[in-house]
Structure 1
Amino acid sequence: MDVLVRVSEATGVPADLLGGYLSALAASVATGRLPDRAETDALRACGTLAAERGVPLRALADACLLVAELTQATPGTAAVLGAVRRGLSAFAEGYEEAHLTAIATEEGARREFVDDLLQGRADARQAEHFGLRLAEAYTVTVVRAADPLPPDAPVVRRIERALVARFGSHNILVAGRDGMLVCAAPASLAAATGEFTHQVRSSLEAWRAGVGRPHHGPGGIVTSYREAVGAIDLGERLGLRAQVLKAADLLVFPVLLRDHGAIVDLVGTVLGPLEAARGGPEPLLSTLEAVFASHGNHTAAARRLGVSTRAVTYRLERVRRLTGFSPVDPTQRFTLETAVLGARLLDWPARPLDGQAGSDGRHDPFGLRG
């Protein structure tokens, strides 16, 4: 049987990865010279290919030694090589087992630390072990993908390696938590958030990111994390188009909801009359949103809605007649826009306002109350 076939069957290493090695070995036996630069480069390329195919290094070393064992003519030499191969394989197996155990232990400790950190229970020594200096202000960015990401997803490690390669291991923490991807970086390292979202954009298809504000200490990381998650939640509730949402840009919404009764009253008073419209209030609400998002440009709003400009003008006139508020008047426009935002935050008209009037005002869209 051909040597490469025997070796492949014995070790599981594909025969095409070993052809160059067999040729180099045969040339060395025949001439007494070591492999030259071209042969070494070819072997290095095969090593890279083996890694990409998931061939263990131990199996590759075992295959190389077995090739040497099978191609030696002297029985004594073959026996020595056989002993070396088996000894090296045993050493490598024990080494790999210890390495995998260490990795598993570290990953378990890392997941526990991330949970402690994002619940405010981490201490300084834990943080320093994983590369964080809690005396600094940190900004947390959270990514929510279309499909939940497991903590050990390859994309998590890949993005972490890319960030560590650029910023160093003692600046960045990237981890998976609750199906999301979390990145904590010093606020002084402004480029880290941009690089993180760049790596996410290159690795995931459907996703949305929230960026918390910078805060100091372990509690600051918790606060920034909750702000980031809250920004994503607000973006989904409000139908915001931006893929990256900054908590600092959305601070008006906690203000709106701080007095829940007042915002319910505003929505009911200003927009309640739209329930009398044919087809209900939703088409008129969507039109107001599109006009506000287009800075009053009716043509751009019509494109957003997929209707004619005339339809937009007609709908705005219906809003004016039903509510008495015109989006053209600056003061009335502000009232209308605030009411529309409040309606989206209250999920009106899907949820009736009379069922929300008794709220105690404790809405917390950024999750700041733990």
Structure 2
Amino acid sequence: MRSVLDRGLALYRQGEDLPAEELAKCTALAVQLAERGERIAPLLHAWDVGCSVAVAACWVSARPGEQSELVSLTQWSSVGVKEITAAISLAYVHAQKQAGLDTSRRVLADLMLNGSATDELAAAAHHSPAKEYVAVAGRVVGENVPSAATVARASAALTTGDLGLSCQAGRHLCILAPIRSHRSTEELSGHMVETLKRVGITFAAPAGAVIAPRSELAMAVQQASRIESLAGIAGLDGKTVESSQVISELAISRDGEYRRQLISLIDPIVEAPELLKTLRTLYLMDLDRSRTARRLNVARRTLTYRLERIEQLTGINPVRTRGILAFVLALAARDLDLSSSVPEGV
């Protein structure tokens, strides 16, 4: 595909168009991938990178006075690449239909994440595009990585009513649900989770959910994956979780120094697991001492002694407002530090 682009650039400089037989080389490759059931998204990503590198090389090697030509060349490559990508994608979808693989909706989800999907492709996949989507990312019970069969089942379940598109992103099953009504994110994503559950697909923990315009779905899926991981660490319940529900964990995860300072608050009790457990259980029980004592299977007198011991060792009262805030964040910071499942960045 890189050689086809180089050929196209050379022909453009000569005032000629890319011949159909050159484009056919790319579409033939797409057909081969479709017939083998392989994903096309990595190929299109490599193609996009190759295009950028080729155009950049032209600028680097430009001679004085060629800048104006290079501007038009860059514009041509941008338009030309989109046309080539659309042709490749259509050939891929058509080949899959011919092979009876019925994966056009999964293909469309992959293409939407790399920004190369067209309305024509959406129509071929029986999907009506929306301006905004809810990107939902969750880990499937019993699967380290969602299998092709799981993604296919999810896609089939969501086809009725055009509820959304499914794909795999890392260890997550991702759903792109078009927003077409005034339903809240929680209602829409919750409906999808229930729909998947009916076909035997259950998320291991609350899924992450992010609203994003169609052009920013790749970033939205990354953020939804991150929210899902943070929700698991925070021990949140529910079908889906939005960023507002893990705002503290998001802030802590992005600032390593802040995280270390918070963890230092509970360093004096790290070697006393019964004190750490007492602190966690107290906040889990919303400061209800009777419930906390029952959960820990200790007498209230023992619980009181432990809370006093925590204050003695840390200098922070665990049942005063400032102490509660400090310890809740410190425990979250420690969990984040111990966890290796939170994606970097975003």
Q: Same fold (TM over 0.5)?
A: yes
CA–CA separation in structure 1 for the residues paired with 2:235 and 2:282:
14
State the match for 2:110 in structure 1: 115
Task: Confirm or deny: 8 A CA contact 1:210 1:230 kept in the other structure.
Answer: no
Secondary structure in structure 1 of the residue aligned to 2:142: coil
1:164-214: CA deviations, max 9, x gaps?
Answer: 33xx23x52134554543221123443432221112334246622423221
- The 3 A distance-change label for structure 1 pair 319 and 342 is same
- The 3 A distance-change label for structure 1 pair 136 and 206 is closer
- The 3 A distance-change label for structure 1 pair 207 and 263 is closer
The counterpart of 1:208, out of the listed 205, 208, 214, is: 205
CA–CA separation in structure 1 for the residues paired with 2:117 and 2:273:
46
Task: Confirm or deny: 8 A CA contact 2:138 2:172 kept in the other structure.
Answer: yes
State the match for 1:143 in structure 2: 138
1:263 aligns with 2:254: no
State the match for 1:334 in structure 2: 325
CA–CA separation in structure 2 for the residues paired with 1:248 and 1:133:
29
The counterpart of 1:345, out of the listed 303, 327, 336, is: 336
CA–CA separation in structure 1 for the residues paired with 2:158 and 2:289:
43
Secondary structure in structure 2 of the residue aligned to 1:213: strand
State the match for 2:178 in structure 1: 186
CA–CA separation in structure 2 for the residues paired with 1:309 and 1:131:
62
Matches within 5 A, 1:191-340: 191-202=187-198, 203-204=200-201, 207-219=204-216, 221-242=217-238, 244-268=240-264, 270-275=265-270, 280-340=271-331
CA–CA separation in structure 1 for the residues paired with 2:332 and 2:171:
29
CA–CA separation in structure 2 for the residues paired with 1:307 and 1:103:
63
Deviation, 1:112, is: 4.1
Letter paired with 1:336: F
Letter paired with 1:330: T
Letter paired with 1:300: R
Secondary structure in structure 1 of the residue aligned to 2:307: helix
Deviation, 1:326, is: 0.9
TM-score w.r.t. structure 2 length?
0.60
Secondary structure in structure 2 of the residue aligned to 1:207: coil
Greater CA radius of gyration, 1 or 2? 1
- The 3 A distance-change label for structure 1 pair 100 and 123 is closer
Task: Confirm or deny: 8 A CA contact 2:318 2:327 kept in the other structure.
Answer: yes
Secondary structure in structure 2 of the residue aligned to 1:146: coil
Task: Confirm or deny: 8 A CA contact 1:139 1:212 kept in the other structure.
Answer: yes
- The 3 A distance-change label for structure 1 pair 99 and 263 is closer
CA–CA separation in structure 2 for the residues paired with 1:121 and 1:178:
20
CA–CA separation in structure 2 for the residues paired with 1:142 and 1:247:
13
1:126 aligns with 2:132: no
Deviation, 1:331, is: 1.6
Deviation, 1:368, is: 5.5
CA–CA separation in structure 1 for the residues paired with 2:225 and 2:234:
14
Letter paired with 1:114: A
CA–CA separation in structure 1 for the residues paired with 2:266 and 2:300:
22
* Aligned-residue CA RMSD (Å): 3.3
Q: How many aligned residue pairs are there?
A: 245
State the match for 2:165 in structure 1: 173
CA–CA separation in structure 1 for the residues paired with 2:130 and 2:240:
27
Report the identity percentage. 22
- The 3 A distance-change label for structure 1 pair 209 and 151 is farther
- The 3 A distance-change label for structure 1 pair 302 and 321 is same
Task: Confirm or deny: 8 A CA contact 1:209 1:243 kept in the other structure.
Answer: yes
- The 3 A distance-change label for structure 1 pair 131 and 326 is farther
